[in-house]
Chains A and B, each alone.
Chain A
Amino acid sequence: MKIEINFYGQLTDKTGCSSFLMDNPGTIADFKKLVIEQYPNLSNAKFTIALNNKIALDNEVIPENAKLALMPPFSGG
Chain B
Amino acid sequence: MQLKNIFTEGAITANFIADSIAKHATKTEIGGHNIFLGQVRADQIEDKLVVAIDYTSHVDMALEKMHEIREAIFTKYPLTCMHIHHSLGIVKAGEICLFVFTSSKHRKAAIDACTECVESIKAELPIWGKEIFEGEGYQWKENK
Contacts and interface: CB of A to CB of B under 8 A. Distances in A.
Residue in B123, B128, B130, B142 with the greatest tally of chain A CB atoms within 10 Å: B128
B47 to A, nearest CB: 21
Given A75-B141, A75-B143, A9 B61 contact: no
Chain A: number of interface residues, binned into ranges: 10 to 19
Interface in A47-77: 50, 53-54, 69, 71-77
Given A8-B128, A9-B128, A75 B58 contact: no
A8 B54 CA distance: 13
B60 interface: yes
If over half of A's interface residues share one DSSP class (helix, strand or loop), that class is named, otherwise mixed; here it is loop
Contact of A72 (B61, B98, B140): B140
Contact of A76 (B60, B61, B129): B129
Contacts of A74: 122-128, 143
A77 B58 contact: no
Contact of B86 (A9, A73, A76): A76
Contacts of A71: 58, 126
Contacts of B121: 76-77
B140 to A, nearest CB: 4
A10 interface: yes
A13 B139 CA distance: 11
Given A8-B128, A77-B38, A77-B121, A53 B140 contact: no
A10 B61 contact: no
Given A8-B128, A10-B140, A77 B64 contact: no
Q: What are the 3 closest A-B residue pairs judged by CB atoms, nearest first?
A: A76-B127, A9-B128, A53-B61
Given A53-B64, A76-B57, A77-B118, 10 more contacts: A50-B58, A50-B126, A69-B126, A71-B126, A73-B143, A74-B122, A74-B125, A75-B140, A75-B142, A75-B143
